[in-house]
Structure 1
Amino acid sequence: MAITLFPLRTFLQNSLINTKSSQLSCRFTSSLPNPFVILRDYKFSPQHNARNTKILHAHLLKTHYLQSGIFFMDSLIGLYCKSSDMVLAHKLFDTITQPSIVSWNVMISGYVRNSMFLKSLEMFCRMHLFGFEPDEFSYGSVLSACVALQASMFGLQVFSLVVKNGFLSSGYVQTQMVDMFCKNCNFSEALRFFNDASCDNVASWNAIISLAVKNGENQVALNLFSEMCRASLMPNSYTFPSILTACCALKEMQIGKGVHGLAIKCGATDVFVETAIVDLYAKFGCMSEAYRQFSQMQVQNVVSWTAIISGFVQQDDTTFALKLFKDMRQIGHEINAYTVTSVLSACAKPELIEEAKQIHSLVLKLGLILNVKVGAALVNMYAKIGGVGLSELAFSEMKNMKDPGIWASMLSSFAQNRNSGRALELFTVMLREGVKPDEYCIGSLLSIMSSLSLGSQVHSYILKAGLVTNATVGCSLFTMYSKCGCLEESYEVFQQAIVKDNVSWASMISGFVEHGYPDQALRLFKEMLYQEVVPDHITLISILTACADLRLLRTGREIHGSTFRLGLGTNTVVGGALVNMYSKCGSLSLARKVFDILPHKDAFACSSLVSGYAQNGLIEESFLLFHDMLRNDETVDAFTITSILGAASLLCQSDIGTQLHAYIEKLGLQADVSVGSSLLTMYSKCGSIEDCRKAFDDVEKPDLIGWTSLILSYAQHGKGADALAAYELMKSEGVEPDAVTFVGILSACSHSGLVEEAFFYLNSMIEDYKITPSHRHYACIVDILGRSGRLREAESFINNMPVEPNALIWGTLLAACKVHGDFELGKLAAEKVMGLEPSDVGAYVSFSNICADGEQWEEVTKIRSSLNKTGMKKEPAWSVV
């Protein structure tokens, strides 16, 4: 037990007057001189300060003990260092004529202890210059100074001396060396030194494991931990938090549980380990176990409270997360920025607007509004609620307006609410204020950029700012070009990217698929695999869609195998894409097998199979599956309804269509564009043009497909005037026609005998909308002329077309010749059709009928003889009525 030196002078006097009778002499061996007793007791005394050290110094001078040996000088220097009086310590050191290695070490470590790291390096250099050989304590202290100063070059020079003088095996030196490599060098260099040094102390292992986790090398950290345990080194409270963090990052729940058990076995149950355990279970969604561990903690700090609150927020249990936050405040626990950001995330729901405002008030009260992360969380919270105005209000309260993170949050808020105008305006203000946008600002801006001109300007800024090599920026940039329909520019930016992560590959592949280039998507996917990039579920979904579009069953099955190898075989979204691929490739048995093994069958998977059955003529199976969906209360969305309507249209039974229409109105989907268009098509095929119009009128905002479906329905039912009126109304609504729309318009003109109008719309199509006519459009003109009896004009039109006439066009003329009994022209048209498509039985039959009508029986005999020789025959007609 150390004695109390108060006052110190009295203690010193008593120690000299009565050494034998003093209680001090009873505590220590009789051979220990009084100065040794005084120095030792003073070292551990609460009265240790600079003033008392000077008094002790004076006493040692007065009693001549200071001159009796180097021990007293070194001890006194150490006491001055401990008293933080390095000036007197250095002066005293300079009075030593022959300082020992201990003297040098005391000074070097003293400077380190008082954070005078540069002085420590100077003292070490001076020691080395005077020819003194450092020992393990010298090296350990100076390496600590190198770590603090981040003086890696000097540290490596010291490391050379360590190796040269044979101190690499010292545990103390190893620990400092590992710490220096970890903090001042890259991870690979630190790991190489650690392996070369064969460290056998726990502190070194902790340092390298911690560095591995900080650098994202979580698997390496687990491997090192296993080696540590095999080496019979006992992990401690500094080891377990790092390892538990690695388990979270690698999603290794079972290993995490094993580490938890080992921590209990090792007795490492301090607040840091317990907090890491709570965080482990919370991140894996095991909130009952996380809360049990949290409740058992003897000491709960702000980190553990934040971990458990964040866990409930991630599980969307907002009510309990807010209750815990309320409990935390009631017991007076400290609240930091991380706690507040978690609670703000919980309040990012429209129904929690009042709670959000209360937390906002608390943030202002606690003065946390100056924290960048808190400010960003506030802006994001209001953005998710839909209150862009409140986001701007929170943004205006920020004082640290130079931080790009705050601006990124506000830009993201505008992006979430699709307000591209305000986002661009804010970006301009940001540049004017001299704030340099980071990759998150650029990414948010590009995510809602729909103007190619503005996007190109932002691209120019990215090049100027040197952000083009950033993976996030590059991905946003080529995605922007893809959305603007510029696939060539998009792919060029993608190729120029130095770093391509999973998101980049997935975005580019998805862009090709969405814009109708599935073959390019497959080629890029093969390149991705060649680069040894492991595809994620988004990439697999896109490439399965490409296989479906190209009807590549074999490739699709290979991708199916990859999904199982990657552990995504039963993923709901991937499963839906597999069902869709097999359905479109006509392999309905495989589609059904995949569908049946899915643990959860979403609307897309159901709709894909329903559509697959319908498209392959299995109408009954299609309706049975739809019935099962209704019976099992499966979610029925617009895509499912569209698929079953497609099946119903093939039946041409209006009663089934009427029942489906009633169900659609019950679900409130009649205003959906795709549903309305499908209803319209179904009624059209059932012959009910009035119901077509009613279905169209129910659509909230018809798109091009809806308008085109209406026009085609009118055309097919001979209501040319109505079709043309619908076309004019479509244009007045600002919807531009496409090639399919003009097929409907020209068909309407044909069925109504509107010859001049047909030529007008054909010219409009070319001149006004820059649409190149296809064979179908030209066939419509030939049909109009043929129906009007203007067969020679039709022949002349065919001969002057800018494209080579095909069998469809000559067949149309042939049909007109049959109606009007033109034998010569009919014979020419028939020869053209039979030359282009020799297997077209209809052409033979039509020409045979023309010959029969003209009593050309020899020709009839020849045609029928040629049919018999080729083995072709006309299929009998049939009707569903």
Structure 2
Amino acid sequence: MRTRDKMIKFVKLTPNVSQVSSLKFVSSLAVNDNPSIVLGKYGRANSPFDSIQFFSEYAKSGLCTIRNSKILHTHLLRTAVLQSNIFVANSLLDWYCKSGAMVNALNLFDLISHPNVFSWNIMISGCNQNGLFLHSWGIYCRMHSSGFEPNEITYGSVLSACTTLRAPMFGKQVYSLATKNGFFSNGFVRAGMIDLFAKTCSFEDALRLFHDVSCQNVVCWNAIISGAVRNEENLVALDFFFQMCCRNLEPNSYTFSSVLTACATLEAIETGRGVQAWVIKHDAEDVFIGTSLVDLYAKCGKMDEAFKKFAQMPIRNVVSWTALISGFVQNDDPVSALKVFRDMRKMGVKINNYTLTCVITACAQLAMIEESVKIHCLVLKTGFYLDAAVGAALINMYSKVGAASLSEMVFKEMENLQDLSTWAAMASSFAQNQNSSAAIQLFQKMLQESLRPDKFCTSSVLSIIICLNLGRQVHCFALKTGIAFCDSVGCSLLTMYSKCGSLEDSYRVFKEIPQKDNVSWASMIAGFAEHGFADQALMLFREMLSDEIILDNMTLNAILSACSALHSLQIGKEIHGYALRAGLGNDRVVGGALVTVYSKCSALELAKKVFDVLPQKDQVVCSSLVSGYTQNGYIEEAFFLFHYMRMSDLAIDSFIISSILGSITLLNKSSIGTQLHALIIKMGIDSDVYVGSSLVTMYSKYGSIEDCCKVFDQIEEPDLIGWTAMIVSYAQHGKGAEALRVYELMRSEGISPDSVTFVAVLSACSHSGLVEEAYLHLHSMATDYGLEPSYRHYACMVDLLGRAGRLKDAERFINDMPIEPDSLVWGTLLAACKIHGDIELGKRAATKVMELEPHDAGVYISMSNICADVGQWEEVLKIRSQMKGTGVKKEPGWSFL
């Protein structure tokens, strides 16, 4: 197609020798540089030289290289054309800018004696094109101080530079000057300012500017739509698009791409299909719209349609390929993602850092460790190893495949980049691998090197802090830097305080979060539930509902945990109904929590119904039901479900094995326990602390203390539960001295006992008659460990004194208790009185028990037996008569024998 009509006449050269030779020289240079393009016809001496057509077609030919520009510059310097014709000077200036020779362009510009507004615009645009935005601003300032009047091109280009420089103050000054000079309603200028506000200030300012003047310019509408998408106001973007269509404005490729991006983010597949129909109707599809459609279908989980659209694209660029790869990654199909990546490389498409980060993310799985190493090698080979985003992705990948040392290696190679994303990725890696000391040291190092940790890095560090004092220091840092009220940091703070046992601080942080998301609500509800404040969790849940927040599976899981703690069947059913209405009834997380609630409430039929309707039964759901069966005595059902899990190749973890082991002790069948122990050894989990502790308990119930010791020795790192199980085993077998030795060994390992451990220790003292030692341990509970003795501890002391025959001391001990004795304590004394035949004390103990538990038949029977042992038959008859009067009945005994 011919260029525009000649608006500027080139000063015709007179046909002299220098003219002819020089023009032929230009022609020959062009032909020699690229013989396929013949420009020689403009060099004939007998025809005028058409400068407009020459420079226009030469620019279109793609030959605006630095070499050609310098050659032409040299030729023009030998003629008077460069100084006498501003069009030629501007064209050469434009060549230099297009070829990236900005130093040459600036030198030429300085030599132009009378530059016009086009000269200035070429320089400003050239700086923008070559990423020299600060120079662009400087040239504009020179232009303004020189008295030149900018036009809409000038203002638009400078506003673009201010946007990239994130300099809103400069941009506002430029726009004020443009408004003063009459460009207020110019679409190009307003679009630049809308873009500036949307990217650097606030979207509200961009909206205000857009609505100031009714605009029919598509560029302005594109600017506000893309600004809405950038600021995650996707519904606003769609609304503007519909308004634009109602005004009969013709959308272009840029409009459709932005709108499809909004649809993809909202996962509004039907709206996206409507936009696609519009594109087809107007035959407006190009590579950018095609890529946006691929991204839309991928983000909506329609990978078949995404791949089909991708295959139909006549032209694909690196962004198209990356969108398809990213879609497969987002839809948990790393194999397909890697296959597309291999096809991309076979096609010779040049990859970029976004492509690599998507592929690296696809390889972040345990099963793909080999692919992970290959991708790392490719990163090194292609030179992207110093890219911050790629480095962060590599660190995250190695962390997820369990190669924490390789994560640190990548980080050390990139440490000098001083990029926050890599530091945040390393902090996250340490957190995922539970390396709290390394994460905290990394955080401190960032501060020492004057790097301000961002919200991602701070959240990662907070997630593994278990020291309240240290957590408060990080909280102070977050307040000082202004990131404490970000959703992620606020949620991490309240979780940290909850883990450290400071629910008051946790709730205070929760209330200060300005915009609470579902994660914040779920974390706070879970914090209350886990620390025994299930009632407060329910109150918070009701508050959440009153705020009309849409619940997700995390929130429902948290509140169902509170229902489990309360054993509230009714509320559990109500939450179940809400989950069904919200379409989450078949969700695996919610399903597992519902099974747990119904199991804890002994509603095993409802638990089984929920289990049966779940489309996918995973390890967590099965574990919940197995635990429910064993806790409620449904041993056969528990074993059937365990068998189903093994036949279905579902992973069997230590929690399930522990539950099954607990049920075996109720069966009292050692053969089954031995078989299960063999399976545990075969699975390689005999060293697991939970499994080992359950085995110790099982063999203790079977009466084999030797097997208890063998199993305990196999535990790799016994925890408090394991040590306590061993102490209990020795105590139950009358080996008090051995139990106390295990207790001392546990303390030497740095493990602090809890109240259950002290019950086992006092029981061991009781079985071995160690009275003084028992007093010392009871005193140690409060003084050394801050534990308040409960009724079970006092009952152990009464049992100890009773076994030793010190019944008066036992009564005195009960009367001196800091808490009111319950029926368990008095019943223990009553049992001791029966053994030693102390009728008077037995009567007093029995009277106390009857007052506390008037319908306990065992008290009457015990007192009756005491009287019968010493021949007081009248008292026996009296007690029997009293039983009948109060309506208490003795349950008859029975036996299989």
Range of TM-score over shorter length: 0.7 to 0.9
The answer on whether the counterparts of 1:313 and 1:321 sit within 8 Å (CA) in structure 2 is yes
In 2, the alpha carbon distance for the partners of 1:774 and 1:220 equals: 61
Please say which of residues 438-447 and 489-498 is displaced more in the overlay. Answer: 489-498
Please say which of residues 588-597 and 618-627 is displaced more in the overlay. Answer: 618-627
Please say which of residues 718-727 and 581-590 is displaced more in the overlay. Answer: 718-727
In 1, the alpha carbon distance for the partners of 2:152 and 2:146 equals: 12
Mapping of 1:238-317 within 5 angstroms? 238-315=254-331, 317=333
In 1, the alpha carbon distance for the partners of 2:192 and 2:785 equals: 75
Q: Which of 332, 347, 358 is 1:342 aligned to?
A: 358
Tell me the CA shift for residue 545 of structure 1: 0.7
Q: Which of 595, 598, 609 is 2:614 aligned to?
A: 598
* Residue 482 (structure 1) aligned with residue 465 (structure 2): no
Tell me the CA shift for residue 873 of structure 1: 1.3
The answer on whether the counterparts of 1:152 and 1:185 sit within 8 Å (CA) in structure 2 is no
Please say which of residues 579-588 and 725-734 is displaced more in the overlay. Answer: 725-734
Q: Identify the residue that residue 429 of structure 2 maps to in structure 1.
A: 413
Q: Which of 381, 389, 402 is 2:418 aligned to?
A: 402
Q: Identify the residue that residue 552 of structure 1 maps to in structure 2.
A: 568
Q: Identify the residue that residue 787 of structure 1 maps to in structure 2.
A: 803
Deviations 1:603-651 (A, max 9, x none): 2222222332333344444444444444444443322233333333333
The answer on whether the counterparts of 2:600 and 2:628 sit within 8 Å (CA) in structure 1 is yes
Tell me the CA shift for residue 816 of structure 1: 1.6
Tell me the CA shift for residue 362 of structure 1: 4.5
* Residue 820 (structure 1) aligned with residue 836 (structure 2): yes
In 2, the alpha carbon distance for the partners of 1:880 and 1:264 equals: 82
Q: Which of 391, 396, 403 is 1:375 aligned to?
A: 391
Tell me the CA shift for residue 599 of structure 1: 0.8
Q: Identify the residue that residue 766 of structure 2 maps to in structure 1.
A: 750
Tell me the CA shift for residue 870 of structure 1: 1.9
The answer on whether the counterparts of 2:225 and 2:237 sit within 8 Å (CA) in structure 1 is yes
The answer on whether the counterparts of 1:718 and 1:751 sit within 8 Å (CA) in structure 2 is yes
Instruction: Give the direction of change, closer, same or farther, for the CA distance of 1:816–1:81 in structure 2 (3 Å limit).
Output: closer
Q: Identify the residue that residue 831 of structure 1 maps to in structure 2.
A: 847
Q: Identify the residue that residue 891 of structure 2 maps to in structure 1.
A: 875
The answer on whether the counterparts of 1:758 and 1:781 sit within 8 Å (CA) in structure 2 is yes
Mapping of 1:765-784 within 5 angstroms? 765-784=781-800
Instruction: Give the direction of change, closer, same or farther, for the CA distance of 1:192–1:804 in structure 2 (3 Å limit).
Output: same
Deviations 1:455-510 (A, max 9, x none): 34434443444443333333333333333333333334434444543333333333
Deviations 1:425-472 (A, max 9, x none): 333333332222222332333333334444344344434444433333
Is the partner of 2:414 in helix, strand or coil?
coil
The answer on whether the counterparts of 2:265 and 2:299 sit within 8 Å (CA) in structure 1 is no
In 2, the alpha carbon distance for the partners of 1:613 and 1:500 equals: 38
The answer on whether the counterparts of 2:10 and 2:51 sit within 8 Å (CA) in structure 1 is no
In 1, the alpha carbon distance for the partners of 2:183 and 2:8 equals: 47
Q: Identify the residue that residue 653 of structure 1 maps to in structure 2.
A: 669
The answer on whether the counterparts of 1:248 and 1:284 sit within 8 Å (CA) in structure 2 is yes
Q: Identify the residue that residue 62 of structure 1 maps to in structure 2.
A: none
Q: Which of 719, 722, 744 is 1:706 aligned to?
A: 722
Q: Identify the residue that residue 667 of structure 1 maps to in structure 2.
A: 683
Mapping of 1:541-580 within 5 angstroms? 541-580=557-596
In 1, the alpha carbon distance for the partners of 2:369 and 2:866 equals: 79
Tell me the CA shift for residue 602 of structure 1: 1.7
The answer on whether the counterparts of 2:140 and 2:158 sit within 8 Å (CA) in structure 1 is yes
Tell me the CA shift for residue 809 of structure 1: 1.5
The answer on whether the counterparts of 2:731 and 2:763 sit within 8 Å (CA) in structure 1 is yes
Instruction: Give the direction of change, closer, same or farther, for the CA distance of 1:218–1:44 in structure 2 (3 Å limit).
Output: same
Mapping of 1:143-292 within 5 angstroms? 149=162, 150=168, 153=172, 182=198, 186-191=202-207, 194=210, 197=213, 199-292=215-308
Q: Identify the residue that residue 27 of structure 2 maps to in structure 1.
A: none
Q: Identify the residue that residue 472 of structure 1 maps to in structure 2.
A: 488
In 2, the alpha carbon distance for the partners of 1:47 and 1:818 equals: 112
In 2, the alpha carbon distance for the partners of 1:483 and 1:829 equals: 44
In 2, the alpha carbon distance for the partners of 1:38 and 1:639 equals: 86
Structure 2 unaligned regions, length at least 5: 17-48, 61-71, 96-104, 127-135, 163-167
Please say which of residues 338-347 and 105-114 is displaced more in the overlay. Answer: 105-114
Q: Percent identity?
A: 54
The answer on whether the counterparts of 2:195 and 2:227 sit within 8 Å (CA) in structure 1 is no
Deviations 1:155-211 (A, max 9, x none): 77589889xx9996x877876776566567632343455467554454443322211
Is the partner of 1:569 in helix, strand or coil?
coil
Instruction: Give the direction of change, closer, same or farther, for the CA distance of 1:81–1:175 in structure 2 (3 Å limit).
Output: farther
Tell me the CA shift for residue 214 of structure 1: 0.6
In 1, the alpha carbon distance for the partners of 2:91 and 2:730 equals: 103
In 2, the alpha carbon distance for the partners of 1:710 and 1:6 equals: 100
The answer on whether the counterparts of 2:159 and 2:193 sit within 8 Å (CA) in structure 1 is no
Instruction: Give the direction of change, closer, same or farther, for the CA distance of 1:320–1:630 in structure 2 (3 Å limit).
Output: closer
In 1, the alpha carbon distance for the partners of 2:688 and 2:225 equals: 56
Mapping of 1:713-724 within 5 angstroms? 713-724=729-740
The answer on whether the counterparts of 2:171 and 2:193 sit within 8 Å (CA) in structure 1 is no
Q: Identify the residue that residue 25 of structure 1 maps to in structure 2.
A: none
Mapping of 1:326-341 within 5 angstroms? 326-341=342-357
1:740 maps to a residue whose letter is: V
1:486 maps to a residue whose letter is: S
Instruction: Give the direction of change, closer, same or farther, for the CA distance of 1:414–1:686 in structure 2 (3 Å limit).
Output: closer
* Residue 434 (structure 1) aligned with residue 470 (structure 2): no
In 2, the alpha carbon distance for the partners of 1:774 and 1:56 equals: 101
In 2, the alpha carbon distance for the partners of 1:312 and 1:640 equals: 34
CA RMSD of aligned residues (A): 4.3
Deviations 1:689-747 (A, max 9, x none): 55544544443333222222233233334443443344344334443322112212222
The answer on whether the counterparts of 2:268 and 2:300 sit within 8 Å (CA) in structure 1 is no
In 1, the alpha carbon distance for the partners of 2:145 and 2:408 equals: 54
Is the partner of 2:350 in helix, strand or coil?
coil
In 2, the alpha carbon distance for the partners of 1:267 and 1:434 equals: 54
Please say which of residues 589-598 and 352-361 is displaced more in the overlay. Answer: 352-361
* TM-score, normalising length: structure 2: 0.80
Tell me the CA shift for residue 547 of structure 1: 0.9
Tell me the CA shift for residue 577 of structure 1: 0.6
* TM-score, normalising length: structure 1: 0.81
1:509 maps to a residue whose letter is: I
Please say which of residues 592-601 and 405-414 is displaced more in the overlay. Answer: 405-414
Tell me the CA shift for residue 532 of structure 1: 4.2
In 1, the alpha carbon distance for the partners of 2:371 and 2:591 equals: 39
In 1, the alpha carbon distance for the partners of 2:316 and 2:672 equals: 65
Q: Identify the residue that residue 448 of structure 1 maps to in structure 2.
A: 464
2:233 maps to a residue whose letter is: E
Deviations 1:377-410 (A, max 9, x none): 3333344444444434433333753332232233
In 2, the alpha carbon distance for the partners of 1:173 and 1:430 equals: 42
Q: Identify the residue that residue 135 of structure 1 maps to in structure 2.
A: none
Mapping of 1:343-362 within 5 angstroms? 343-348=359-364, 356=372, 359-362=375-378
2:430 maps to a residue whose letter is: F
2:422 maps to a residue whose letter is: I
In 2, the alpha carbon distance for the partners of 1:184 and 1:636 equals: 52
2:629 maps to a residue whose letter is: Y
The answer on whether the counterparts of 1:611 and 1:646 sit within 8 Å (CA) in structure 2 is no
Please say which of residues 490-499 and 781-790 is displaced more in the overlay. Answer: 490-499
Q: Which of 872, 885, 891 is 1:856 aligned to?
A: 872
